[in-house]
Structures are given as C-alpha cells and as structure tokens.
Structure 1
Amino acid sequence: MPEPCKPEPILRGVLFDLDGTLLDTAPDMAGALTALRAEEGLPPLPFEQMRGHVSHGSKGLVDIGFGTALAPERFAALRQRFLDIYAASLCQGTRLFPGMEALLRALESAGIVWGIVTNKPGYLTDPLLHTLGLGARSRCVVSGDTLAQRKPHPAPLLHAATLCGLAPGDCLYIGDAERDIAAGRAAGMRTAIARWGYIDAADRPQTWGADAALEAPADTLSRFFPDARTA
C-alpha cells in the first residue's frame, strides 16, 4: 500500500524580503539613479524600466543606468555615489505596499510572528525601518551584512528562523526575486512569490519552484493562513 501523504507543517511565522515585497522602495531607489544620471549629464530613464531592477539593488540599478561594460573602478565609483545619494533620501517616497499593513496586523492578531530577510545592508535597512515604525514590530531583521552569506544562500533565512524561535519548516518566506525563492527552498521553508513586486519582463517566475504566486498581500492569508482575518 502507498504511504499516506504527510500533512504540511503548520506555519507559525512569515519572513519577508524587503525591497519589492514588504516595502515599495522604487520611488527613492529610482530617484537616486535619476539624480546620479543627471550628475553624469544623462537624461532620466522611464520609471518602469528602473522599477524592474530595484530588487537587484545598487548593482542592478547601476547596470541599467550605465551599462554592464564599465571598467571595475568606474562601476565601483558610480555604485558608491548611487548609495550616497540614496542614503541621503532614504525614505521620501518609500511606503508599505498597498494591503501590507492589513496583512501585518492580521498576522500579529493571529499570533503569527513576522520578520525581514534582505540583502540590503544594515546601514540602509535599519534607519528605513525605524522611520516607518516597523523595526520594533518585526521579530527579526537580517540584513545583507548581518552574516558572511547573502541570499540565495539559505544561511540568512536559517538565522532569521532561529531569531524567531522557529524551525525552518514553520516559516513561509515571501520574495519577488528568484534568489529569494532559491534561498527559501534551500532553507526548507515554504515559499511564495510577491507578484506585486519588482519582477522584470525578462523574469520567468513560473520556473522558480515556489509553493505559490501571490497577486496581493492579502492572498497570503487565503493561501497559507485561512484562519487569520484582516481588520
């Protein structure tokens, strides 16, 4: 006789990627690239063209803004200048994605812990979360320089689960990039794609192997936490 299917573990926590999943940082990230291009005598790029690269951080934006054939020293200088401009205007247009506050409140009301795992460096992550009042609410924040490894390595997600007092299998990881899903799967977590995030037209999220693709934050509840309710 075939062995009975094992039930899926009950999820007790949600970990979020930051840029393009929890927060819409594209206005400020794209604004920094526009300012940098202006310094270099270049016109602004269309916002939607820049938006699709925000999840790839400063490297992705410098690549789209100045090409991928730069000499290493030229790339490094432009990247550092981009980061300096961005740090000076960190939270002018950045907000939670629509529906995300309701999701966070529903998770908190249901006793489901949530945290953040991002490749964004801590010197940018921490003040951003403080300004938005999210740092004190999040059970953990693992930034890109918290450990020696970064996503797609699973170590940051495993560290986050430990900080939350959870086993990896108790956690759902939500992100908008292939490396997010790869890291979550390697960590033994359930994974979901944030379709509202910065998914470029060239991306193929259907091949990433996620457990679900969510069209809006509220879909997290209906798909994974049906007993939780939004206010």
Structure 2
Amino acid sequence: MKKLAIFDFDGTLFDSICDVVLCYNRTLEMYGFPTLTRDEYIPCLGGNIDEITSLVLGDNASPENIEKVKETYLGFYNSSPKNLTVPFPDASQILYKLQEKGILLAINSNRLTYSLEELVEKNFKDIDFIGIEGHNDSYPSKPDPYGVNNLVKKAGVSLDEAVYIGDSITDILTAKNAGIDCVLVTWGYGLEKDMQNDYPIKVIDDFFELIDLFD
C-alpha cells in the first residue's frame, strides 16, 4: 500500500504557466530578445531556472545572457501578484482527502523553494506537507533523485510505499532515478510522447483517480 505521495508542483498541482510567460516575455522584450508564445514555453519547462532560461533564450543562450535574463525575470516574477497562478480544479479537495486517509504528502519541484512555500501557504493552508523540496543551487535538481530521497527518508517509508505524481518526462525520470513508482497526469504541461512512456504505473485524467491508488 502507498503511504507517501510526492507531488510535482507546476503542471501537477498548480496551473502557473501564464504568469511565467508574462514575466519572461517582459524580460526578453527588455533585452531585445524574441518573445515566445505559451505553446513555445511548454517544451522549455521542467528543469531548474537556469535550464529553463537557457531554453527560452535558444540561440542567444550565452552564460552572460542566461544570468542577466534569469535575474531580471526573477525580479519581475517575485514582485508580481501571481494572480494567474492557481491550483488546478479539485487539487485542494483531493489533497485534503488523502490527508484524511493518513497519506503523507510532500512536494518535489525545480521551482525555487521560497516560491513553493509562498504559494502553498497562500493556497493550501489546511494541508500539512511533511516536506517541500525545491531547487537549491547547492544541491542537484530533478531529475536527480536528491529531493525524493530526502522526502522518503523523512517520511520513514520504503521505496515501494512511495509514489511520485507529475506531468512530464522530468517527473518520470525523477521517479525512475529514485526507484519509486510514478503516476502521470494529463492536465499539465507534459507532451503527448510523455504520456506514452512505459514507466508510469498509471496515466490519469482526473484528480479523483488518485484516491484509488491509496485504497
């Protein structure tokens, strides 16, 4: 039986891409770089902030450009109200139901930790996550299993008792590298080819399908 549910954040629990697009495009315009559409941003997501910025810049991704665009973007993003960053429908309800069933809940994301904590505090006040592992320059980011390993150890469960829930190939590889099962959701930013990957034990179209995993 699964005892620990580790969730990816962007594209799994939260629909966050619109605010990311606005702040990145504002930054790109400021430096005279080409802006991207929402659909063009989606393949750039999944990595840490440096990796995303590099993909967003494309042919302009020199170390100097990555650094200045990243820092400017973070300034815009951190000071923005993030009104367009919201939990996916039913996310809060399902998390609460899992919590009531005694399932341990955690988050592992390549989003910066302070940003995760800010959005969780704002939107999931009734949910008690045992841990939130975000990106930290001092430690490897997903798909390295560093964050998952910490959460599994903190929860005191076996690898067989943990499941990783995400929306993209980065999440599949993270779960695989950690040696735990993976469930993929279809409502996020994953690509069609991700849904065809043979590693996830299940691909779900609705949050309520998660309940069956813990019965």
1:113/1:186 CA distance change after superposition, 3 Å:
same
Change (3 A) 1:212 1:58: same
Instruction: Pick the aligned partner of 1:103 from 82, 89, 94.
Output: 94
Superposed, 1:46-85 pairs within 5 Å as: 46-59=37-50, 61-63=52-54, 65-85=56-76
Match of 1:119 in 2: 110
Contact kept, 8 Å, 1:20 with 1:54, in 2: the verdict is no
Whether 1:89 aligns to 2:80 is yes
Residues in 2 aligned to 1:56 and 1:95: alpha-carbon distance in whole angstroms: 20
CA contact (8 A) 1:28 1:90 kept: no
Which whole-Å CA distance do the structure 2 matches of 1:190 and 1:169 have between them? 7
Where structure 2 has 5 or more consecutive residues not aligned to the other structure, the ranges are none
- Give TM-score scaled by structure 2 length: 0.87
Match of 1:219 among 188, 209, 214: 209
Structure 1 window deviating more from structure 2 (59-68 vs 79-88): it is 59-68
- Superposition map of 1:1-231 within 5 A: 10-41=1-32, 45-59=36-50, 61-63=52-54, 65-89=56-80, 91-134=82-125, 137-145=128-136, 148-200=139-191, 203-207=193-197, 209-222=199-212, 224-225=213-214, 227=215
Once the two structures are aligned, what percentage of the paired residues are identical? 21
**How far off its partner does 1:217 sit?**
1.6
Is the partner of 1:21 in helix, strand or coil?
coil
| More strand per residue | 2
Between stretches 127-136 and 170-179, larger displacement belongs to: 127-136
TM-score (norm 1): 0.81
- 2: distance between equivalents of 1:26 and 1:219? 24
| 2:207 alignment partner, SS class | coil
CA contact (8 A) 2:99 2:127 kept: no
* CA contact 1:140–1:160 (8 Å) conserved in 2: yes
Tell me how far apart the structure 2 counterparts of residues 62 and 135 of structure 1 sit (CA, whole Å): 33
Change (3 A) 1:97 1:53: farther
1:21 and 1:174 in contact (8 A); partners too: yes
Counterpart Cα distance in 1 of 2:35 and 2:61? 19
Unaligned runs of at least 5 residues, structure 1: 1-9
Task: Report the structure number with the largest CA radius of gyration.
Answer: 1
Deviations 1:92-134 (A, max 9, x none): 2111111212211210121111110112222322222222235
CA 146–140 in structure 1, closer or farther in 2 if over 3 Å, else same: farther
